[in-house]
Amino acid sequence: MTIAIHRRRFLSATGSAFGALALSGCMTRGNMATSSARAVSSFDGYGPLVKDPNGLLDLPEGFTYRLISSLGDAMSDGGTVPDKADGMGCLPLPGGEIALVRNHELVPDDAPGGTIASGYDRVGGRQVLPGGTTTLVLDAETLAVKREYRSLAGTIRNCSGGVTPWNSWLTCEEFVSKADQLGEGKLGKDHGWVFEVPAGAPGLVDPVPLKAMGRFNHEAACVDPATGYVYLTEDRGDGVLYRFIPQTPGKLHEGGRLQAMIVSGIADTRNWEGPAMPVGQSYTVDWLDLADVDAPGDDLRMRAAARGAALVARGEGIHMGTDELYVCSTNGGAKKLGQIFKLVPGRGRRADTVELFFESEREDQFNYGDNLTVGPNGHLIVCEDQYTDVVDNHLRGITPGGRAYDFGKLDMQTELAGGCFSPDGKWFFVNAYSPTRTIAITGPWAA
């Protein structure tokens, strides 16, 4: 789908006020997927992985990578690149540039990478909390780093997030503060929120928590460009899937309604106690309105489940495809190796539906998936995040037909995170979590 077609669809679906915002936004990555890609059911991967002589990332023959940014690199704002690079989004900028907005899942005791001038919260009213985002501005053709700087600070454990059609990044705190963590010499504010970082912000943004989107152990976010609804995952073993209906699409700070997913006939999607939800079967979805979403007791998921919301095992990455979105569950499934759900919004024309798209049966298929993205060809690329003493984390591809294959293997003892494609679909960006490495991959992508 061309950018022009995408914009016309967006305008007709949402009205001119919201649609106009999309003119500076990025195209939903999966919208470039073609019917021919879905028809190629015989594709089973790019071949065996070739050992990287540099000891960073093994890839199939024909694929190459560039190291874009590393822990401790000097940034243009005087700081240095912080550690724990996690979720990330790639967004277009004017003048032939692209922006990578990158989360850093830092906690109060972590090194901030230099003095931070301002942020959402401080420890004991003194130093700004180190969590937040950095932004890398790259030349879209050469990938030369033109600028790199802090764009959000003062938060805790910014895990993942999601891009918006109006060209911003939603960054999510995977940390819910407790009452005894606030006070003199401690945290000054509640945590567990979503924040918004425009792609073109030239420095630190005003850190405004989007409180109507709920206070919980946030992981990732995904915006349906046809409606402006935001879908949110929760990294808890007894989590649920959320949907946020903004009062004004594209203006999340104006508030809205938070809801939780109810799956007809299914109270628990995790399949831990047996195959309650088989792969490939579609179920009707309803949505439950939630109250008191600031949840001082961190009980939002529990209240939702008590009223019929379906349990999801550690909801992680979430990303929009063409007319569907994919949700990764880290340890769902009978083998507790991970699941991927496909949610199809009805958009007011029919009921929403959900199916279990993939459930791993073996470690070599999929082992603790975390961030995921939908490629231009409709394939998923999933970043693994294992917890074994010696980690062996891969990039796993999954075809539109649900067939898993190896795409990459990290040779560092850390997780992969933040996978995202450039707007033109040529480059796939991904982070090695710690020490921070941001990598750009290209090669002969399947059609």
In this structure, which amino acid lies at residue 417? Answer: A
- Reported as a pLDDT band with limits 50, 70 and 90, residue 390 is confident
**Domain-embedded: residue 214:** yes
- Reported as a pLDDT band with limits 50, 70 and 90, residue 184 is confident
Q: How far is CA 88 from the centre of its chain?
A: 7
Contacts of 2 (CB under 8 A, 6+ apart): none
> Would you say residue 389 has pLDDT above 90?
no
pLDDT for residue 228? 98
Report the C-alpha gap between 301 and 200 in whole angstroms. Answer: 34
**Domain-embedded: residue 61:** yes
**Domain-embedded: residue 380:** yes
> Would you say residue 4 has pLDDT above 70?
no
> Would you say residue 238 has pLDDT above 80?
yes
> Would you say residue 15 has pLDDT above 50?
no
**Domain-embedded: residue 447:** no
**Domain-embedded: residue 205:** yes
Mean residue pLDDT of the chain comes to 91
Here the CATH number for the domain that contains residue 360 is 2.120.10.30
Report the C-alpha gap between 346 and 285 in whole angstroms. Answer: 10
pLDDT for residue 41? 62
Average pLDDT over residues 385-404: 91
Overall number of domains in the chain: 1
Average pLDDT over residues 410-427: 97
**Domain-embedded: residue 342:** yes
**Domain-embedded: residue 141:** yes
CB 136 within 8 Å of CB 81: no
HEC letters along the chain:
CCHHHHHHHHHHHHCHHHHHHHHHCCCCHHHHCCHHHHHCCCCCCCCCEECCCCCCEEEECCCEEEEEEECCCECCCCCECCCCEEEEEEEEECCCEEEEEEEECCCCCCCCCCCCCCCCCEECCCCECCEEEEEEEEECCCCCEEEEEEEEEEECCEEEEEECCCCEEEEEECCCCCHHHECCCCECCCCCCEEEEECCCCCCCCCCCCHHHCCCCEEEEEECCCCCCEEEEECCCCECCEEEEECCCCCHHHCEEEEEEEECCECECCCCCCCCCCECCEEEEEEEECCCCCCCCCCHHHHHHHCCCCEECCEEEEEECCCCEEEEECCCCCCCCCEEEEEECCCCCCCEEEEEEEECCCCCCCCCEEEEEECCCCCEEEEECCCCCCCCCEEEEECCCCCEEEEEEECCCCCEEEEEECCCCCCEEEEECCCCEEEEEECCCCC
- Reported as a pLDDT band with limits 50, 70 and 90, residue 362 is very high
- Reported as a pLDDT band with limits 50, 70 and 90, residue 282 is very high
- Reported as a pLDDT band with limits 50, 70 and 90, residue 391 is confident
**Domain-embedded: residue 224:** yes
Q: Write the pLDDT tens digit of every residue in 21-80.
A: 333 233 333 333 433 334 446 898 999 999 999 999 999 999 999 999 999 999 999 999
**Residue 351 domain boundaries:** 3-442
Q: Write the pLDDT tens digit of every residue in 396-417.
A: 999 999 999 999 999 999 999 9
Listed residue (167, 244, 163, 171) closest to 200, CA to CA: 167
CB 269 within 8 Å of CB 332: yes
pLDDT for residue 35? 38
